[in-house]
Amino acid sequence: MIYLTRKMEFSAAHFYYNPEWSEEQNQRVFGKCANRHGHGHNYILEVTVAGTPDPQTGMVLDLAELKQLLEREITDRFDHRHLNFEVPELAGCQPTTENLAVTIWRLLAPKIRQGRLHRVRLYESPDLFVDCYGDTQ
């Protein structure tokens, strides 16, 4: 089994806020992340596909196809967007790195046609990332 990873970057804004809580509770739990003007991150996404190399091509999957899939499903949807307002797939959930990784898994897993999606790793900053190995919700 081979694990092939493609890495990409996108920038997006968000804030954390639970409308069922008081302002004070939001401040206590989320701190400055509750500022509803939002703040930005340069996210780094690593998408890992597991498979065996095709005997004809020597490749796990068509790399051009993977690149196009990531541009269509990730860049077009998330890059330079405000995650709280502009991404229907995140409606009703807190746009944390955790939830974003699960959403990315759901978007990509059914569309990988050769091999299978093994891991979504999403960096919110150079020293903080989450790993998603499946649809855990």
Q: Annotated catalytic residue: which of 71, 80, 82, 118?
A: 80
Contacts of 132-136 spanning 24+ positions with Cβ under 8 A: 132/101, 132/102, 132/104, 132/105, 134/105, 135/102, 135/105, 135/106, 135/109, 136/102
Q: Annotated catalytic residue: which of 33, 73, 82, 89?
A: 33
The Cα–Cα gap between 15 and 77 comes to: 18
> Is 33 assigned a catalytic role?
yes
> Is 93 assigned a catalytic role?
no
Instruction: Provide the token pair at 36.
Output: 């509803």
Q: Half-sphere exposure of residue 74, counting CA atoms within 13 Å on the CB side?
A: 29
How many CB atoms are located within 10 Å of the residue 36 CB? 9
> Is 118 assigned a catalytic role?
no
Residues with a catalytic annotation lie at 33, 80, 124
